[in-house]
Amino acid sequence: MSEPSGGRLSKGARQERILSEVNASPTLRVSELAGNLKVSTETIRRDLDELEVRGLINRTYGGAVRPFGPEPGIMERHQMMVAEREAIAVVAAGLIQHNDVVVMGGGATTVHVARRLAAEKRELTVITHSFGVATVFAPNPTIKVLVCPGHYNGREGQMFGAETIDYLHRFYANWAIVGATGLTEDGPNDADADSGAVYRAMLSRSASNMVVADHDKFERPALSVYGHWGEINRLITDVAPSGALLHALERAGVEVMVPNRP
């Protein structure tokens, strides 16, 4: 297929534009890039292949995404998006009833949810692999906390591995509350495959579940897709999703809950 003539960018300039686009919007489509840059889809695919070889993007079916990168450590994440996470926590805690059994994953947002539960609920049983989550329940003596055994991840302050997953499979829970590194059309994901395996076990042992994640996670891919949207009951986030992510959530019947913020 021949490329449209007139005003075309050089290959180098075109690829710079592609990199600028992927930094501004985490997910790119071949068809949209071809239209915007006035070249054929074959040319865009060759550009994307070259950029992937250079480690500047990751190719996906039909497009490209930002390259996977390490997630900031838990201590750094605790300082980020605090107001947004607190708003998410208010909504999440409102779904939990006194006396419920809850399995909770690690992460900055789930710690906010745990803190809200500790302040508002009584007689909960909480099962978690996260020391951060476990600690914030200490002021409420009516809440029983069970901490999973396993290998310790000091960077994240949580347990993982076969012993952790085996322990989780001993219980049934009313709720699983898990966070995410990213949310894409495929489902929620995590930068750490071991954590993803723990979250998958938590989802399998709960009658209902929720993913709690702020809008910065939208369209951000990470290593481990730990669940598909068809397995997720609710997404609680601070901004309504749009585009391909919204369509995926709607197709799967996921209830999206967004706080009413002034």
To which CATH superfamily is domain 74-257 assigned? Translation initiation factor eif-2b; domain 2 (3.40.50.10470)
- Choice among 28-42, 123-137, 153-167 with the minimum mean pLDDT: 28-42
Q: Using DSSP, how many helices (H) and how many strands (E) does the chain show?
A: 10, 15
Residues 102 and 201: their CA atoms lie apart, in Å, by 13
Which has more confidence, 11 or 27? 11
**How far from 67 is each of 60, 137, 170, CA to CA, in Å?**
11, 37, 38
CB 44 within 8 A of CB 62: no
Work out whether the CA dihedral 225, 202, 250, 21 comes out positive or negative.
Answer: negative
CB 178 within 8 A of CB 209: yes
76 phi and psi angles, rounded to 5 deg:
-70, -40
Mean pLDDT of the chain: 88
Residues 197 and 114: their CA atoms lie apart, in Å, by 21
Cα three-residue angle 114-117-123, rounded to 5 degrees = 115
Q: In the chain, which segments carry CATH 3.40.50.10470?
A: 74-257
**How far from 213 is each of 2, 27, 95, 110, 238, CA to CA, in Å?**
44, 18, 16, 9, 8
Cα 138 from chain centroid?
Answer: 27
pLDDT at 72: 53
pLDDT at 28: 78
Q: pLDDT, tens digit, for every residue of 61-110? A: 777 776 665 555 555 555 557 889 999 999 999 999 999 999 999 998 99
Res. 160: pLDDT tops 60: yes
Q: Which amino acid is at 23?
A: N
Task: Report the topology of domain 11-65.
Answer: Arc Repressor Mutant, subunit A (1.10.10)
CB 112 within 8 A of CB 83: no
Residues 107 and 219: their CA atoms lie apart, in Å, by 19
- Choice among 61-70, 111-120, 217-226 with the minimum mean pLDDT: 61-70
CB 27 within 8 A of CB 57: no
pLDDT at 191: 86
Residues 213 and 233: their CA atoms lie apart, in Å, by 14
Assign residue 122 a region (left: φ > 0; alpha: ψ between -120 and 50; beta: otherwise).
beta
Cα 133 from chain centroid?
Answer: 18
Residues 138 and 134: their CA atoms lie apart, in Å, by 7
- Choice among 19-33, 41-55, 134-148, 228-242 with the minimum mean pLDDT: 19-33
pLDDT at 60: 74
pLDDT at 76: 59
Q: In the chain, which segments carry CATH 1.10.10.10?
A: 11-65
